[in-house]
Amino acid sequence: MSGQFFISLLNPGIGLLLAGAFLLLWLYRREYRYLLAAAAGHAITAAAFLIQDLGPVLPMELQRIPANFGYLLAGCLLVGAIIAHYRVAVPRRTMAVICTVSMTIFLWFLLVDPSIVGRIYAISFALGLIALMIPVCLRRLPKRHIVDHIFFWLGIVWALNYTLRPLLVLGVTGDIANYVGFQQSVYWTTVQFTQAICSVLSAITLMVAVAIDLMAELREQADGDQLSGLLNRRGFEAEAGAAVRACADQGRPAALLIADIDHFKAVNDNHGHAAGDAIIAAFGAHLRAAAPAGTIAGRIGGEEFALLLPGSGIETARALAEAVRTGMTIAPRRDAADDKHRAGGRRARRRPVAADARRRPGALRSQARRTQSRPRLYPGTGSYRHRVLTRRASAWPPHHMAPAAAKPRFRGGQFFVRCTLN
């Protein structure tokens, strides 16, 4: 067997291995349909190379039709898998038009005016346009990870590879007279190796992207509260602590809003835990809708919620507290007789952030525990329901709540906010 035979097995072997890997990933996470598209794309690539290099010769070289159509279809599937990974609409119609025009030109140079070089340009330029769909579709998306940048530039490199490679190589080596010369040409050797490199690089990058998604899901499960759709206490303390430190370092204000639901135990006792869960879910959705962009929101207790507003002052924080307080007062009651346990009433209060809550992420938790004593926090106030109260950080916490060594490090405009549901 010649070395050319083993080279001809390079892309089919790589394609089948990658197709099997993506198929196994899809079997594990079937909701990721783009993994199935990637598996199909690599499998079709392997089949197309096998037909191109080792398939039986048909009259008028008709075996070239399924091989080159396979290249186009595989390109559409692989590019579509990358785009679909970002939950962006795949430009299927554009790809279909490109493939149709390309195959029409290909058939012309196969059946009407036979030209190997013409067929090469028809397929290569089409694959370049298909690859260009990646940077076009991803150009406006935020690039949070290095793989996002790799995918963007990989699409550009693919497009340049498919368009410039035939122009450069064929411009140097000249025309190709027949398929015997084509199989042994420098051009086809460059195709074999560059395609293998592109396939492996794109597959590894997509697998890394899948791994990042899976880790993000695990992190969300660990730091998220499924019932309310917000962060849980652990996730809130981690994100809020980092945000508070960043605000302090940049000299920006910050406001913390605490919201809880009064008589929640009575709701559970009288109407069942399903009703209580419905209230938690509804209030979580209300907070998500009312909170401005950049707000860190979490459920930090059974019926207690917290929202941190980095960069916000007292007016913004008070407006949000009023929106939270009044936004669900029209919630329907299950039973008019249970008026005293209704789920519609609300109260909102603002309390200042303690100085040491900025220095230590865990202090948010200890501060929340310390601020549960209402008489000590609000001496002389008769009602704590359906109200908005604000305190500046410079005057908070009281001396009996803060360590003597803790000096206020927040400047004016930091607040601790409390909102409650009756």
Q: Which two three-digit tokens encode residue 19?
A: 């197709």
pLDDT at 369: 37
Q: What is the mean pLDDT of the segment spanning 14-27?
A: 96
Q: Where are the alpha helices (DSSP H) in 260-313?
A: 264-271, 273-290
The domain 229-421 having CATH identifier 3.40.50.2000: the answer here is no
Among 203-217, 235-249, 331-345, the range scoring the smallest mean pLDDT is 331-345
Q: In terms of pLDDT, which residue wins out, 68 or 327?
A: 68
pLDDT at 363: 38
Contact between 201 and 161 (Cβ < 8 Å): no
Q: 121 pairs with which residues across the strands? A: none
Tens digit of pLDDT for each residue in 168-195?
988 887 778 777 778 778 888 899 999 9
Q: 417 pairs with which residues across the strands? A: 257, 350
Q: In terms of pLDDT, which residue wins out, 140 or 356?
A: 140
pLDDT at 6: 77
Phi, psi values for residue 305, rounded to 5°:
-125, 160
pLDDT at 389: 61
The number of CA neighbours under 13 Å toward the Cβ of 214 is 13
Q: Is the pLDDT of residue 419 over 60?
A: no
pLDDT at 101: 97
Task: Write down the pTM of the prediction.
Answer: 0.65
Q: In terms of pLDDT, which residue wins out, 34 or 273?
A: 34
Domain boundaries, the chain: 3-222, 229-421
Q: In 10 A of CB 268, how many CB atoms?
A: 18
Q: 298 pairs with which residues across the strands? A: 231, 306
Distance CA 172, CA 155 (A): 26
Tens digit of pLDDT for each residue in 49-101?
999 888 887 887 888 999 999 999 999 999 999 999 999 999 999 999 999 99
Options 2.60.120, 1.20.1070, 2.60.40, 1.10.10; which CATH number does 3-222 get? 1.20.1070
Distance CA 279, CA 422 (A): 11
Distance CA 379, CA 306 (A): 23
User: Which residues, in sequence order, are CB contacts of 261 under 8 Å at separation 6+?
Assistant: 267, 279, 280, 283, 303, 304, 343, 420, 421, 422
Q: Please provide the average confidence, as pLDDT, over all residues in the chain.
A: 77
Q: Is the pLDDT of residue 377 over 70?
A: no
Q: Is the pLDDT of residue 394 over 90?
A: no
Could you tell me which of 292, 235, 227, 238 has the C-alpha nearest to residue 264? 227
Helix (H) or strand (E) holding 256: strand 254-261
Contact between 182 and 120 (Cβ < 8 Å): no
Q: Is the pLDDT of residue 278 over 50?
A: yes
Distance CA 372, CA 306 (A): 13
